[in-house]
């Protein structure tokens, strides 16, 4: 049977030294290698890099696009939380859906096909934002797979009634449970409750964790211990972990080994962490970005993600994971081709492992999900912030972004 589509002269990330043809049939990859000429529609990729869809493991769609409603002066984490808490009082399902879909569409045209979005639930907002995102998940399934992680941004133990809302959210269809232990006086108490919810509902866990610069107390030690005692190794991620940017090299090696052994993954959120960290410094401002490329060397599964978009936590955002990866490489001083390839991995294959995605990858039989980047190697994708040109999800085209063209004058050079 002739394929539905053949992509010719592609380079697959990780094997980019050779050109391959990719045949797609009934929404899946039918062949990768040499595909004979035939009647099937074909597209010449001209040696461009193909990746199996970018993977965003940590974004907040529900509180994106809030800059017009929030006024901040200090730029601290506390101020951002307070400001969004106030804005949240005015959220409606329609409002959350509108802002989240605007952000999601930007992510889609940047080549993102898998997203874990964190959603705030508490006794005041209830399930309003969750309901909007469940609808969004259904409406955009043609372009992106959305995992919804519910979490108590304003605290769990110190916010009476919040756990009941979390339970209701998981019963209503949330995929993952999250936490922010730094918001409760008893951070280990919150960690224990989140693990209990994960066990009750059989879901993965994703914490906002160790989001400060004093590394003398690290909640990640407790999270590692709990992952091991509950058998949840490989199902726990922690995000920010900015305290890891403040530990000496030897201690980082010890902590990396601990995280790897416990099967706890780490997500760095460079845009937010660079924006919020060290606001009490007026010079030599600390960067506060967890050195995840070092943790990868120690066997830790790591990802780079966007986190916040156009809100007081991060007043920037084009939802480009390639740009985020470039930002990380720049601030973390990663300059080798191999190092940059790891940075691309942290927004693609390694992120997919963090999310425990089945069927990720360009190989025969897998769903035909891919993105064409305007470059010929993983290192070039990151160093040059290569533009995504084409996306296919289940073999169907989801976006097209024409490559830029120069219009030279007639007869000119
Ligand atoms: Zn976050």
Find tokens 């999900």 and name the residue: 369
Question: Are residues 321 and 347 in contact, defined by beta-carbon separation less than 8 angstroms?
Answer: yes
For ligand 1, the distance from its centroid to the CA atom of residue 136, given in whole angstroms, is 19
What pLDDT was estimated at residue 413?
Answer: 59
Average pLDDT score, the chain: 96
Question: Are residues 78 and 137 in contact, defined by beta-carbon separation less than 8 angstroms?
Answer: no
* Residue 408 DSSP code: P
Q: Residue 103: which of 67, 49, 131 has the closest Cα? A: 67
pLDDT in tens, 240-296: 999 999 999 999 999 999 999 999 999 999 999 999 999 999 999 999 999 999 999
For ligand 1, the distance from its centroid to the CA atom of residue 20, given in whole angstroms, is 38
For ligand 1, the distance from its centroid to the CA atom of residue 270, given in whole angstroms, is 11
For ligand 1, the distance from its centroid to the CA atom of residue 308, given in whole angstroms, is 7
Residue 397 burial (CB count, 10 A): 12
For ligand 1, the distance from its centroid to the CA atom of residue 39, given in whole angstroms, is 48
How far is residue 90 from each of residues 95, 96, 150, 307, 401, measured CA to CA in Å? 9, 10, 19, 22, 36
Beta partners for 42?
6
Tokens read off for 105: 């569409």
What pLDDT was estimated at residue 199?
Answer: 98
Rounded to 5°, angle at Cα 361 from 241 and 332: 30
For ligand 1, the distance from its centroid to the CA atom of residue 206, given in whole angstroms, is 10
For ligand 1, the distance from its centroid to the CA atom of residue 208, given in whole angstroms, is 6
Question: Are residues 321 and 112 in contact, defined by beta-carbon separation less than 8 angstroms?
Answer: yes
For ligand 1, the distance from its centroid to the CA atom of residue 104, given in whole angstroms, is 16
Q: How many angstroms separate the CA atoms of 73 and 79, rounded? A: 8
For ligand 1, the distance from its centroid to the CA atom of residue 313, given in whole angstroms, is 9
For ligand 1, the distance from its centroid to the CA atom of residue 223, given in whole angstroms, is 17
For ligand 1, the distance from its centroid to the CA atom of residue 328, given in whole angstroms, is 16
For ligand 1, the distance from its centroid to the CA atom of residue 171, given in whole angstroms, is 22
Which residues in the chain land under pLDDT 70?
412-413
What pLDDT was estimated at residue 412?
Answer: 63
Question: Are residues 6 and 43 in contact, defined by beta-carbon separation less than 8 angstroms?
Answer: yes
For ligand 1, the distance from its centroid to the CA atom of residue 146, given in whole angstroms, is 16
Length of the chain: 413
* Residue 315 DSSP code: S
């Amino acid at each position: 049977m002739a394929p539905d589509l053949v992509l010719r002269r592609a380079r697959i990330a990780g094997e980019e030294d050779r050109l391959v043809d990719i045949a797609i049939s009934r929404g899946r990859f039918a062949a990768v290698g040499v595909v004979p000429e035939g009647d099937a529609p074909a597209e010449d990729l001209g040696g461009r890099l193909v990746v199996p869809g970018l993977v965003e493991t940590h974004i907040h769609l529900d509180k994106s696009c809030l800059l017009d409603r929030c006024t901040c002066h200090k730029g601290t984490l506390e101020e951002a939380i307070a400001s969004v808490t106030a804005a949240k009082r005015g959220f409606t399902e329609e409002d959350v859906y509108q802002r989240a879909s605007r952000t999601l569409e930007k992510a889609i045209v940047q080549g993102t096909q898998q997203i874990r979005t964190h959603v705030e639930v508490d006794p005041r907002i209830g399930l309003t934002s969750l309901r909007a995102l469940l609808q969004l998940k259904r409406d955009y399934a043609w372009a992106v797979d959305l995992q919804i992680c519910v979490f108590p941004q304003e605290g769990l133990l110190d916010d009476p009634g919040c756990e009941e809302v979390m339970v209701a959210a998981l019963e209503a269809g949330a995929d993952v449970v999250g936490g922010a232990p730094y918001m409760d006086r008893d951070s280990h108490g919150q960690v224990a409750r989140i693990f209990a919810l994960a066990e009750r509902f059989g879901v993965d866990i994703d914490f906002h964790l160790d989001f400060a610069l004093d590394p003398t107390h690290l909640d990640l030690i407790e999270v590692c211990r709990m992952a091991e005692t509950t058998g949840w190794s490989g199902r726990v991620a922690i995000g920010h972990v900015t305290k890891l940017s403040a530990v000496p090299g030897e201690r980082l090696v010890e902590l990396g080994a601990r995280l790897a052994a416990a099967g706890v993954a780490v997500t760095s959120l460079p845009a937010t962490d660079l924006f919020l960290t060290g606001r009490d410094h007026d010079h030599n401002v600390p960067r506060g970005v967890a050195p995840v490329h070092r943790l990868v060397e120690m066997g830790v599964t790591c990802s780079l993600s966007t986190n916040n978009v156009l809100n007081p936590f991060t007043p920037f955002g084009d939802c480009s994971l390639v740009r985020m990866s470039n930002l990380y490489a720049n601030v973390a001083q990663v300059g080798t081709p191999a190092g940059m390839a790891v940075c691309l991995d942290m927004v693609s294959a390694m992120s997919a492992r963090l999310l425990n995605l089945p069927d990720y990858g360009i190989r025969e039989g897998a769903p035909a999900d891919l993105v064409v980047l305007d470059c010929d190697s993983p290192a070039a994708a990151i160093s040059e912030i290569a533009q995504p040109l084409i996306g296919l999800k289940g073999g169907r085209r989801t976006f097209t972004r024409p490559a830029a063209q120069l219009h030279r004058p007639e007869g000119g050079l």
